[in-house]
Structures are given as structure tokens and as C-alpha cells.
Amino acid sequence: MSALDKSTRRKIFYGMVLLFAVVAPVALLYSRGYVFDRERRGLVVTGGIFVKTVQSGARVFVDSEFSKETSFISHGALITNLIPRRYTVRVEKEGYQPWIKAVRVANEEVLEFRNVLLPPAAISSQPFFSRSAGKRVFWLDGRRALALESGDPVKGVTLSLIHADTGAVIGQLNGVARWQWDEHSGSFIIGRNAAGRARWYRATFSSSGIQEEPIVFRGLPEGFSADRVIPHPVRAGEVYFSAGGALFLQGRATVPLAIAEQVHAYSVSGEHLYFISKNGFFAESDLIGGNTKLLGRKGLFLDEKAPAVITISQAGDVALLDAANGLFLYRPERSAELELVASKVLGIDFSASGDRLLFWDERHLGVYWLRDNPFQPFDLAGTKKQIFSSDDPIRQAYLNEKGTHIFYAVDGALRMVEVDDRANANNYDLLKATVSSFVMDRRNLTLYWLENPRTLYRALFQPKPGA
């Protein structure tokens, strides 16, 4: 075969130069996110969608066309070079309910959905405990156990303590009028009524069951009886209690330490004591009642028969529910007084990290952000959103571990809705059942619920790692 002559070689060279001159800019523009849009008849800058699922191996569809599968390691899938317009994104996996959003992609923007949780298509529930009639079930933080409350509150309820994995009965506490779980010591503080007075005990777990030890309140004035008792957040064995309208600390001294007078309600965190006076003022002090400062009076409605409830998050924010179901917040880092958040509130739940607060009334689920959300949609601290409106009365609600999903019970069903309400929040039916009370292990996403008065059920909602 003869070598190419000079003229042919020159033509090939200039042809390659021309091809490079045409292809190179196109490749460069494509690498920078430019594509040709037939509708606009020109080049446009593209965008993308990033989806991260709890389950690996989920299939991501864009406008009904398969795009990618979430990875085994990162559980994420990035779809790029999308022309700016509206798309329907669908995430599905066999055995699970799908996640669907109609979203608008903008140029030079990647829409992120980092907490896609696919609920099982059918939850396999099994009777977990069925021995006595139950009214309410509680999760005991710091210990893999449940407390099942049953019986007549007037005569004193029975607390059945149940191992969260096996369903074995650890022990029972009978005739309980009031109780408080002490996560720090892993014990209960319980009150029993006797001769018109409350007798208080500390109940501790052991291999042989539960041991009770009386709590002795030394040096109280005649006629004083300890009312609400809560544990000291740091020093084991010490407790706060109210008596005769005053607040005391029962420490190691002979006589209780007086903290404040005319106290309506109180609660304590790791460093601070918060209380409401009977005239409606909200105050903060250190753990021994020093350095007290008034935090204002924000129109609190007080009722001695239904004292206000003070709840403190892991991050130190304080939520207050008064007798008229008004929800107030005190955020030490951002405000010097109480802030009214909502009215007609039936319940609240802080996220595990304390960055947001769930609250609900009879028909609505709402979230208040206490810290800036570092991920899309970048909710700022102080943002309040109504996440979902229910046609049915809401009985209970909880946030999951990351605070990205709300599990809630209504008449005839247990449901889950995502907190990210962009393009509408996905809302799922988990169970078709009349749930009288439910609780969850946030970390493992295990659900426990009372479906009838005599049976406690359990369902493993969270898939195993890699599933």
C-alpha cells in the first residue's frame, strides 16, 4: 500500500483541525453544563437532582425514565445535565412505598433530597406483649425498655417494664399515682398515695427485678407534703420537689434547700432550673436557686388543677405548654424572654439534636426550627411551618432520629409524613388500625403500639444496614 501523498495528508490534517475546532467548544460547553434545548432552540445551562435514601439500591426515575440507582455505600444518586424545567422524580424499591415529587430544576443548581425514607409496603406487625390491659406506652431513654401503663389512675396505675427486644417482663410497679423516669441514673421516681399524702420511692433496675427505696424528705414544716419530685440532672440521689407551693432541693444536707416560693411549675436541665411563679412570671436560676432572673410574663394561662408543662431540649431550649394549650419558647441563645409559638397545641416533641420542635393540634402538624438547617431547603432558625393538615384528629406524634419525618396516629391509622414540604410532603399510611398509644425507638426506627387494650405490638420499620 502506497503512502499517502502530501495533498491527502494536508486534507486529513486540516479536516482534523476543523473537527477539533467544532467538537472542542461543544465538549467544553457540555463539560460546563451547557446543552442544546430544542424548545428554546439554543444552549442552556443545566441543573441536577441529588437523592439520598435510607435504603440502598433504590431506583430513581425522572419523568418515568430510569436514571440511576442509589449506591450501596453512600445511598446517593446524582442526576446531572437536566434542562431547566419541571420534572417528576420517583424513587422506588421492591417491597417499599414510593417517594414522588414534582420539582423544578433551575440552571446551575442541584436540588438535594438527602433524607428519603421509603416505608415498607406492608408492615409486618406481631403481638409483642399481651398480659394486662394497657392504656399508654412509653420509651425509656437510656435503656432498651418500655413502660406500659395500665389500670385505674384514681386507684393507682401499674407500670409493666418490658424489654424492648424480647418482650420479657423486667418487673412491675403497682399503685403508682405519679412517676418520672431518671435517664441519668436509670431509675424511676414514683409516688403512691397513702392516707391523703404522696409517698415517694426510687425504683432501680437489677438482674433480679426492681428494688424500691423510700425517698425521705427531712425537716419539712408540719403539714407540708412533697408534691412533684424530679431527679437532679447531675448529682445521683438528689431530687427537687415542691411542697406548700415552695420549691426545694433535697441534697445530702440534713434540711432541704429552699429554692423559690409560690412556684406553679418547674423543670431542670443540666445547668439551669426553670420555674413559673403563681403570678405567671417565668424565671431561670442555677441549680441551687442562685442568680435568678425573670424572663418575662407572656400572657400565660395558669390552672392549679392542670399545671403548665415545661420541657427542655438536649440543646437547652425550653418549651412551655400552659393550661390553655398555648405553646411558648425560650431560646437562651437568641432571646431574653418567652416567645409565643402557637395556640391550641396538644403535644410537642423536640428532635434528638434539639435543632427543631414538632408541635401539633387536633388537625395540624407543625415544625419550628430552633437552629439553621445546613441542608436544602435551608430553613432558618425561627422559621415555623405547617407541615400537614389532617382530616382526622391527631392523637400522638413523634419525630424520627434526624427529625426529618413525623410519625403520627389518627383514628384508624398510623402514618408517616416527611418534614421537607417542597412540592408537597410525602404522606404515607403505615398501619390501618385503631392505635390508642404508640412510641418509637428513634435510633432503630422500631414502632411499638397499643392496638387494643390488651395487646402491645411491635414492628421493625428500619431496614437492616445494606438493605
What mean pLDDT value characterizes the chain?
87
Q: Give the N- to C-terminal CA distance of the chain in Å, as an integer.
A: 61
Q: Is the model's pLDDT at 12 over the cut of 80?
A: no
Q: Which residues contact 416 (CB under 8 A, 6 or more apart)?
A: 117, 119, 405, 406, 407, 408, 427, 428, 430
Higher pLDDT, 399 or 460: 399
For 176, 223, 321, 326, 373, the CA distances from 330, given in Å and listed in that order, are 32, 35, 12, 13, 19
pLDDT band (50, 70, 90) for residue 45: confident
Alpha-carbon torsion, ordered 32, 36, 41, 42, to 10 deg: 20
* Mean pLDDT value across residues 10-38: 52
Kindly report the CA angle at 269 between 267 and 273, in degrees rounded to 5? 55
DSSP 188-235: EEEEEEETTEEEEEEEEEETTEEEEEEPP-TTPPTT-----EEE-SSS
| Strand 405-410 with 394-399, pairing | antiparallel
* Mean pLDDT value across residues 240-252: 89
Lowest mean pLDDT segment, chosen from 285-299, 306-320, 355-369, 380-394: 285-299
The pLDDT of residue 399 is 97
CA-closest candidate to residue 40, choices 107, 108, 111: 107
67-88 pLDDT, tens digit each: 999 998 999 999 999 999 999 9
294-304 pLDDT, tens digit each: 888 778 999 99
pLDDT band (50, 70, 90) for residue 23: very low
* Mean pLDDT value across residues 380-394: 95
Percentage of residues in the chain with pLDDT exceeding 90? 62
CA-closest candidate to residue 81, choices 44, 54, 114: 44
The pLDDT of residue 76 is 96
